[in-house]
Structure 1
Amino acid sequence: MTTTSAAPLRRELTRVPLAVDGIPPLDLTATPPPGHCTVIDTRWGPLRLHARETPGPAPDAPIAVHLHGLAGSATNWTDLSRQLSGRLRSIAVDLPGFGHSEPPPGFDFGRQAHAHVLARYLDGLGAGPVHLTGNSFGGAVAVELAATRPDLVATLTLISPAMPDLRPDPRRLSDARIVPALLPVVGARARRRLAAVTPHERAERLMRLCFAEPDSVPAHRVAEAAEEFREREALPWAGPSLGRTTTALLLSWLVPPSRSLWWRLRQVAAPTLVVWGLADRVVSARKAPRTAATLPRGRLLVLPRTGHVAQMERPRMVARAVLGLVDADSSW
């Protein structure tokens, strides 16, 4: 474990229990579990929410729910879910507009809208509070849900959450043409060029952006990501959903302090673990100390040689930290 030097930390913030019991051997050859859809009623009408479930040690095992980031899907949690399976039943969700979850007409793609959908889904499970985990944009959604529906969240783990970070650094993008592609009219040329990039190239670029050590990613994981990109090309709502979610996230970074994600952090009652990769190029690890310190019951784990998706790059370490949080939640 390490901490950043960007800001001083209270000593107790870095006291993260790391459980070692109940974790199976790491198997990076595992394929994503099969998916299923659940129809839920939302304020925009019915929505078929797609999720992938990894069974726990028993049917009544405590539940962990995982939320992916931009351009991600439920498959981002394959390895972590298996690492948790000795203790927890995992449900990895495709957020509306991503994976196989088609957004309903009128959906606005902000973190509040996604949190509303997740709240309805968890209400439908009827399993009580869950151990909620969110990466990047999924972390922002998880914060919103934990702040507004504390009854649904037993513990919260935020992995490189999308805290406001307006650095104008092109290295934060898998392709520099993404920003101009979001613009009306003038973005048409950039969108055509992006469309010409093959699914395998997209997958490789995303790995180079999100992993500190992209060469260590197994070839079959790159192939899985490429196949997902190929599938998304056939979904008419996939591209617009990514663009609108990205725009909603950027706009949320510009709101007054009373509506910002920083303000929401203060309202999270659940014990919360903040996990950040020191080599994160997407959202700077310099945000990590403030994020943990702002949370009423926050702890911080910063991982060296790790990028933006620690649950994929360091699944065993993240699993140990999550289970440590689960075991210690009553004392945090």
Structure 2
Amino acid sequence: MLKGIDYMKKRFTFLLLGLSVSLVFLYTVTPVSTLFHYLIKTERSMASLDVNRVKVGELEIEYLRGGSGPQLVLLHGFGADKDNWNRLSGYLVDQFDVIAIDLPGFGNSTKNIALDYDVASQVDRLHRITAAIGLEKFSLAGSSMGGYIAGNFAAQYPNSVDKLWLISPFGVEGAQFSDMFAATKKGLAPIVLPKTEAEFSALFDFLFVEPPFIPSPIIRYLASQVSENIAINSKIFEQIHRMKNGEPHPDLPLDKVLNNYKGPVLVMWGDKDRVLHVSGASVLKQVIPHARLAVMTDVGHLPMVEVPSATAESFLTFTNAH
């Protein structure tokens, strides 16, 4: 296992060096949107992921898939999309059939502001999506909002989930307030709903201890994309978080719905997470005594982006023990 991780480190380092040389040229002659999509396609290619689509009732769902082995479904967090998993997936495709989904309302899946996006609705849609893809029993991972959905899916459909992997999940009612919710309690807008380039840059720094390098023109492009989706993102944020007086009140808290969950669970959290407080990890451990905890030192809200190799290694150690 560790030799495989070392190989992937070397492979990604080599490919990134080559990519950097190419970008020096592309940066000067290519529109920013084209450059961004080129980078995303390169990341997907490096991770051996292909784009797929499936129609599920009124929804068009886009997802990435690659690798071989047991099926592993990945759910992104609020305001993100399936490409959040690209860096991690490169370390997993040798052992798993990786499936990273654009949840309804995000990425290139259907964005219909008339729909409801509360956790119960998203769990129901996920059940229909996995059935349409042809999945019966699979491991399920979710980051932040995706972890909230994943945990509720596992509680509702335990026979469909082999292993459950929760990465800094929202929905732990007994956790301490994070920096983000301390700010909303003071009347400030949620930092995860940026409306300007400056707010987007602040969010980027807020998410990570060591932010990955992204050229400033691409930051501006990403900020413009976020602003285009502010209406639907605001609706989804409210329906997921149920804010009252600046405090979240999740409909179906994980520390309640997973109280009797029996399957294998890995709870992972960055100890410097400012979006969702790391105390949520110990709360979930109390609720699910058999869960394995992996608290990542000097890591922020998105371990799979910030430290993909260490994140993969922790997950592979967990899966090999079960």
TM-score, shorter chain, exceeding 0.5? yes
Amino acid at match of 1:25: M
Corresponding residue for residue 67 of structure 1: 75
The TM-score normalised by the length of structure 1 is: 0.75
Corresponding residue for residue 130 of structure 2: 122
Corresponding residue for residue 8 of structure 2: 25
* Residues 68 and 94 in structure 1, CA contact (< 8 A), matched pair in contact too: yes
Tell me how far apart the structure 2 counterparts of residues 153 and 224 of structure 1 sit (CA, whole Å).
37
Aligned ranges 1:1-332 → 2 under 5 Å: 19-20=1-2, 22-23=4-5, 24-26=7-9, 27=12, 29=16, 30-32=42-44, 33-41=49-57, 46-53=58-65, 55-56=66-67, 58=68, 61-104=69-112, 106-162=114-170, 163-164=172-173, 165=175, 167=177, 169-170=179-180, 178-179=189-190, 195=195, 197-198=196-197, 201=198, 203-214=200-211, 217-219=212-214, 227-234=221-228, 238-251=229-242, 253-254=248-249, 259-295=252-288, 297-329=290-322
CA shift for structure 1 position 105: 6.2
CA shift for structure 1 position 177: 5.6
* Residues 146 and 269 in structure 1, CA contact (< 8 A), matched pair in contact too: no
CA shift for structure 1 position 203: 4.7
Residues 279 and 328 of structure 1: CA distance in aligned 2, closer, same or farther (over 3 Å) = same
CA deviation string 1:164-217 (max 9, x = no partner): 35737458779x8634998xxxxxxxxxxx64x23xx45532321111122xx1
CA deviation string 1:120-164 (max 9, x = no partner): 111123233111111111100000100001122110111111123
Tell me how far apart the structure 2 counterparts of residues 225 and 75 of structure 1 sit (CA, whole Å).
16
CA deviation string 1:222-280 (max 9, x = no partner): 7666544444555xxx3222112211232284368xx5331112143320000111111
CA shift for structure 1 position 51: 1.2
Structure having greater relative contact order (Cα 8 Å, sep ≥ 6) = 1
Q: Which runs of 5+ in 1 are unaligned?
A: 1-18, 183-193
Q: Which runs of 5+ in 2 are unaligned?
A: 17-41
The TM-score normalised by the length of structure 2 is: 0.77
* Residues 65 and 133 in structure 1, CA contact (< 8 A), matched pair in contact too: yes
CA shift for structure 1 position 304: 0.6
Tell me how far apart the structure 2 counterparts of residues 114 and 86 of structure 1 sit (CA, whole Å).
29
Q: Over aligned residues, Cα RMSD in angstroms? A: 2.9
Amino acid at match of 2:236: T
* Residues 69 and 135 in structure 1, CA contact (< 8 A), matched pair in contact too: yes
